[in-house]
Amino acid sequence: MSARVELGLVALIGIGLALVPVVAPGDTYLLNSMQYVLALAMVAVGLNIVTGYAGLLSLGPGAIFAVGGYAAALLVEHHHSADLGLMCLVSLVVSALCGAVIGIPALRIGGFYLAMVTLFLALLVPVIAGSWDVTGGTTGISLVSILDFTPRWTGVPLYELTTGVLIAVTVLSWLLLRSRLGRRLLLIAGGDELPASLGVRPYSTKLLAFVLSALPAGLGGAFYVYSQQFMSPQSASANLSIYLVAACVIGGLGTVAGPLVGSLLVLCLMQFLGGLQAHAGIYFGIALIVFALGLPKGVVGEALEAGGRDWRGLLRRTAAEIGVPAPAGRAAGNQPSPVARARAVLTPAPAATTGLRVLGASRAFGGVQAVAGVDLAVAPGTVHGLIGSNGSGKTTLLNLISGYYALDAGEIWHDQRRVDGLPAHVVARTGLARTFQTPKLVEGLSLLDNVVCATSQVHPCSAASSVLRLPGGVRADRAARERALECLDAVGLADRADQLADKQSHGVRRTLEIARALAVAPATLMLDEPAAGLSEAELEQLREVIDGVTAAGVGVLLIEHNLAFVFGCATDVTVLHQGRCLASGPADEVRSDERVRGSFLGAMA
Amino acid sequence: MSLLLNAIVTGIAIGAVYGLIAMAYSVVFVATRVFNLAQGDLVMVGVLVSFWAIEIRHWPQVVALLVVIGVVCALSLVEERIAVRPFLGRGVDDIGWFISTLAFGLVIATIATNLYGNRPPLPVASPLTKDAIRIGSVTTTPQLLLAFATLVLVTVLLELFYRRTWLGHALRGTAEDREVAALRGISAVRMSRIAFLLGGVIAGLAAFVIAPVVYADVSLGLSYSIKGFVALAVGGFGSTRGALAGALSLGVAEQVFDLYADPHYELLAALLLLLVVLTVRPHGIFGSAKARTV
């Protein structure tokens, strides 16, 4: 519901802005100042996409705004007949290119570097523009001095158009957040491992987020130039970028209405501070520290939460709301067993595979040989238990298989394909799903949406058709949602589908990860300590889910400390000790192996 | 040829200025994993205080030096308390400190601008002679030599400090693993305070030494921060030698760029250097890739 609260807020702001000329008729100074505010608010909405949704700190929104603005101004300088539409188009293209050029190198390293490189550009662009003849040096480019150029939109109509475009951009950012692309951006915000494990390529997703955020910035540049009739280095000083970041933080990063509210607050204050403008840095700096420390969700985020609605709860939609029928036959009594349900979500079973094979895998970190010459095979439809004391290399082996680390020696094959050396997301796409020792979830999303992040891979459609709610996108998203609900049902979480992930117990979070792993319809499933911290009832449920998974012909690699649980469901067991195979073979043999009993099983035998 | 040689020598000297700023960054980063975006503004404030103490109050150089270090240290500690400490322990993914240190820098830069008033960037008198030093066809100034000597001294002392002293080990260890450090009785909060104190001392010293070279200019804080970052990124984060190498490469790259391209676009040299190095060696000259943990 709060999704609509936010959208309502955006609509209210739009109406309020549209009424400004009515309230203060004929006040051209006010109108002109507001034009400036509206153009920059577009930049803030864009910044929110990369920093608020995708969690990548960009500190140079002003740089891209400046590039877009100069592109528009140069267009008019050379083609006096250009109109606003053409200016916007050119700005959009140039700013998107600029975003890609900056993003490609900066995103290779990590978020930290993106922040610094973008901050650098915020400083650099005005300096370059101020020295370059083409951009008019320190005086910049004035459209007023181009006598042939006659703007077709002026005064109130231009103001109303700008308001309309700003609101449209904001609504688009709302649609984006609630689309599969938006969920992919939210996945990215939590680090590279989780998206890669679902087959999402982290790097290109980040780049896309950065380029998407450049579009509104370029549009803002075009509207700025058209309404203010000039572009100069002072139009985009480094401090402007910092104020735009402040606007987003104060309004609420990650919310839809936040950047709008924040930029109206900050920029209107800037515009109308009068003599106090020289001290603006002090006020906004202090406000920024206060918000970063105490109110990290910003005005809008904190208000939504105070109103009992978590800000990302806007993504929440109950099954009933979207009209997904509860899985058939749920009346008490004729409920299918968890085994059958788990099996059902994996049917039709993936084409016959050869399973997972690890041959002589080795990896050292510094002087520590974490994994040394380990062989292991997971046949389709069987459970392979991987046990060993803490630090014996189990999780490292899993990470090697997932493609998070490179092997020093050895080979890994999955489904007749050699996967070692492939990027993690490509490994995942061969049908290899996994869970994490510490569950990795998108905290602000509902359980259902967390699983939808994964099922979207099974029901593909173009990102654009999902964002714009085209028929194909709507169909694919509905199918993804239905499948997600089935997966939740298979692990017994269907009744919590619309609850938020960060409000759940440890056991539920672990189980949710399994539902998500099932959702990609894997050929092999790797579970990292799935039973840790589960209650007896939850353990029983987990056992049934694993039975259902193997019955569907999927292989399971199970890392677990609960030995009774492992020997209860594994066909084969491998014991690791200090990175080496201590024993490997059918569960019964390993269990009675003298060395294993002596060194490891001891108490249990 | 002698032009190029001159550019390289001047580059090394200018690089020494960046190196001193980078060292202040590095000390804080090594202990807290916080990249203090207000560091450049702290140096800028130090330069302004040098101007005030020497040009307006006409205090002796030694007194001025102590006042500069005192003011910068105090600011650094205030920043640590307000803008950094609340974020320590919130996890490495929390980028709140990025925003709060940036905001702190904005606040002190605005205050400094208002206090300095409408003066143009003004020179600060050097205790040394202004006469150029000539060695063959190469010229440089005593003040730049002093900056270089200070940088070398600071680098050597820091390396010894990290290698030989308990406190140096503790500072390094805290950022590696806060929990293990805590188990050994090392307080992360105390280490953070010490790191900012040490960072303040180096920033103050740096400001005093470079003041005669860079003039009192309130607008330079952010570019100091950026140059310091480029030096560290090129050299490799967390390595003292890396900071030294990165800063000197940056200085030389800028001077060579000025010689063969256009000095107006000097800032571009730093960006190009950064992008080239990151493409070839993503973790810097002396840096090492860290293993991922899941």
Return d(Cα B238, Cα B286) in angstroms, integer: 9
- Same structural domain, A370 and A281: no
Give the C-alpha separation, B138 to A513, whole Å. 66
B185 three-state secondary structure: coil
Question: Is residue A497 predicted with pLDDT exceeding 80?
Answer: yes
Q: Give CA–CA dist A221/A91, Å, rounded.
A: 7
Q: Are residues B294 and A289, on separate chains, in Cβ contact within 8 Å?
A: no
Distance of CA A294 to the CA centre of its chain: 24
pLDDT value of residue A313 = 47
Task: Decide if B180 touches A, using CB distance below 8 A.
Answer: no
Q: Is the pTM of this model over 0.95?
A: no
Span between the terminal Cα atoms of chain B, in Å? 54
- Whether residue A326 is predicted with pLDDT greater than 50 in this model: the reply is no
pLDDT bracket for residue A271 (50, 70, 90): confident
Last residue of a domain, one of A253, A283, A315: A315
- Listed by number, the residues of chain A in 245-274 with a beta carbon closer than 8 Å to a beta carbon of chain B are 245-246, 249
Q: Are A29 and A227 in contact (CB under 8 A)?
A: no
- Cβ–Cβ below 8 Å for B95 and A109: no
Q: Which residue ranges of chain B lie beneath pLDDT 70?
A: 1, 91-94, 288-294
In this structure, are A161 and A97 located in the same domain?
yes
Residues of A in contact with B278 (CB under 8 A): 105, 108-109, 113
Chosen domain end from A315, A341, A376: A315
Q: In B, which residues are within 8 Å of A395 by CB distance?
A: 294
A398 and A530: one domain? yes
Interfacial A residues in 431-460 facing B (CB < 8 Å): 436-438, 440
Which residues of chain B lie closer than 8 angstroms to A112, CB-CB? 35
Predicted local distance difference test score (pLDDT) of residue A97:
96
Whether A323 maps to a domain, the answer reads: no
Contact A220, A42 (CB under 8 A): yes
Q: Is residue A232 part of a domain?
A: yes
Contact criterion met (CB < 8 Å) for B267 and A115: no
Looking at residue A332, what is its pLDDT?
44
Q: How far is B9 from chain A (nearest CA, A)?
A: 25
The predicted pLDDT at position B294 comes to: 43
A347 falls within a domain: no
Work out the average pLDDT over A569-594.
89
Helix axes A447-458, A471-490, angle to 10 degrees: 120
Q: Which of A113, A123, A278 sits opposite B226 (nearest CB)?
A: A123
- Contact call for A57 and B95, based on CB within 8 A: yes
Confidence of residue A330 (pLDDT cuts 50, 70, 90): very low
pLDDT value at residue B42 = 95
Q: Do A281 and B275 touch (CB under 8 A)?
A: no
Domain end point (choices A260, A290, A315): A315
Kindly state whether residues A49 and A107 are assigned to the same domain.
yes
* Residue A13: predicted pLDDT: 96
A334 occurs within a structural domain: no
A413 part of a folded domain: yes
pLDDT(A602) > 60: no
Nearest CA in chain B to A117: B271
Q: What residue has token string 């238990």?
A: A385
- Tell if the CB–CB gap between B279 and A105 is shorter than 8 Å: yes
From chain A, the residues in CB contact with B109 under 8 A are 281
Q: What is the mean pLDDT of residues A28-54?
A: 94
Q: How many helices (H) and strands (E) does chain B have?
A: 11, 2
Q: Does B223 touch chain A (CB under 8 A)?
A: yes
**B223/A117 CB distance under 8 A:** no
Q: Which amino acid is at B128?
A: L
Q: B 251-280 residues with CB below 8 A of A?
A: 262, 264-265, 267-268, 270-271, 274-275, 278-279
> If you ran DSSP here, which 8-state letter would residue A601 be given?
I
Give the closest of A112, A281, A293 to B109, CB-based.
A281
In three-state secondary structure terms, B235 is: helix
Position B77 scores a pLDDT of: 96
| CA atoms of A86 and A356, how far apart (whole Å) | 55
Q: Does A295 touch chain B (CB under 8 A)?
A: no
Is A124 touching B (CB cutoff 8 A)?
yes
Query: Is any Cβ of chain B less than 8 angstroms from the Cβ of A115?
Result: yes
Residue A2 has a pLDDT of: 64
CB contact under 8 A, A119 and B222: yes
Residues of B within 8 A of A113 (CB-CB) are 233, 278
Measure CB to CB from residue A242 to each of B93, B100, B106 and give the nearest one. B106
Neighbours of A413 (CB within 10 A): 17
B237 conformational bin, left if phi > 0, alpha if psi -120 to 50, beta if neither: beta
Cβ atoms of A449 and A533 within 8 Å: the answer is: no
User: Closest Cα to residue A394, out of A258, A524, A576, A568?
Assistant: A576
Residue A123 C-beta-side C-alpha neighbours within 13 Å: 21
- Kindly state whether B290 is in contact with chain A, defined as any CB-CB distance less than 8 angstroms: no
Q: How many domains does chain A have?
A: 2
Q: Which of residues 105-164 of B touch A (CB under 8 A)?
A: 105-107, 109-111, 113-114
Question: Letter for the amino acid at A463?
Answer: A
How is residue A159 written in tokens? Answer: 């103001």
For residues A101-107, average pLDDT: 87
Average pLDDT over residues A179-197: 92
Between A520 and A170, whose confidence is greater?
Answer: A170
Nearest Cα neighbor of A337 from A109, A535, A541, A485 is A541
Both A216 and A283 in one domain: the answer is: yes
Q: Are residues A44 and A150 in the same domain?
A: yes
Give Cβ neighbours of residue A138 (< 8 Å, ≥ 6 apart): A130, A232, A233
CATH assignment of the domain containing A410: 3.40.50.300
Are A58 and A146 in the same domain?
A: yes
Strand A356-365 relative to strand A368-378, pairing: antiparallel
Residue A317 binned pLDDT confidence (cut-offs 50, 70, 90): very low
Q: Which amino acid is residue B108, in one-letter code?
A: I
Please check whether residue A449 lies inside any domain of the structure. yes
Please report which confidence band the pLDDT of residue A320 belongs to, taking 50, 70 and 90 as the band edges: very low
Indicate if A399 and A304 belong to the same structural domain: no
Do residues A376 and A278 both lie within one domain?
no
β-bridge partners, B134: B139
- What are the counts of helices (DSSP H) followed by strands (DSSP E) for chain A? 26, 12
Residue with the larger pLDDT of the pair A366 and A417: A417
- Give the pLDDT band of residue A244 (cuts 50, 70, 90): very high
- In the prediction, which pLDDT does A337 show? 74
Chain A residue with the nearest C-alpha to that of B109: A281
Please tell me the predicted confidence (pLDDT) of residue A329: 42
B13 or A245, which is more confident: A245
With a pLDDT cut of 90, the percent of chain A lying above it is 57
Instruction: Report how far apart, in Å, the C-alpha atoms of B92 and of each of A111, A192, B32, B103 are.
Output: 12, 14, 10, 19
- Same domain for A95 and A207? yes
At B124 the three-state DSSP class reads: coil
A285–B107 C-beta distance less than 8 A:
yes
* Distance between CA atoms of residues A558 and A385, nearest Å: 5
pLDDT in tens, A531-577: 988 888 889 989 998 998 898 889 999 999 888 899 999 999 999 98
DSSP-assigned beta bridge partners for residue A374: A361
Task: Name residue A40's amino acid.
Answer: L
Range of the domain at A30: 2-315
Buried b (16+ CB within 10 A) or exposed e, A511-526: bbbbbbbbbbbbbbbb
**Min CA distance, B58 vs chain A (Å)?**
29
Could you give the percent of chain A with pLDDT greater than 70? 92
Domain shared by A507 and A559, yes or no: yes
For residue A320, is it within any domain?
A: no
* Same domain, yes or no: A295 and A374: no
Q: Would the pLDDT of A350 be above 70?
A: no
What secondary structure does DSSP assign to A61-99, as a single string? HHHHHHHHHHHHHHHHHH-TT--HHHHHHHHHHHHHHHH
Distance (Å, whole) CA A56 – CA A37: 25
Q: Is the pLDDT score of A18 beyond 90?
A: yes
Q: Cβ separation of B107 and A436 shorter than 8 Å?
A: no
A203 interface with B at CB cutoff 8 Å: no
Instruction: State chain A's mean pLDDT as an integer.
Output: 88
Task: Output the pLDDT for position A546.
Answer: 92
Q: Does the beta-carbon distance from B107 to A286 stay under 8 Å?
A: yes
Chain B residues near residue A437 by CB distance under 8 angstroms: 294
Q: Which of B110, B279, B292 minimises the CB distance to A281?
A: B110
Identify the CATH number of the domain in which residue A195 sits.
Answer: 1.10.3470
Residues in chain A closer than 8 A to B294 (CB atoms):
193, 395, 399, 404, 436-438, 440
Where helices occur in A310-393 by DSSP H, the ranges are 319-322, 338-345
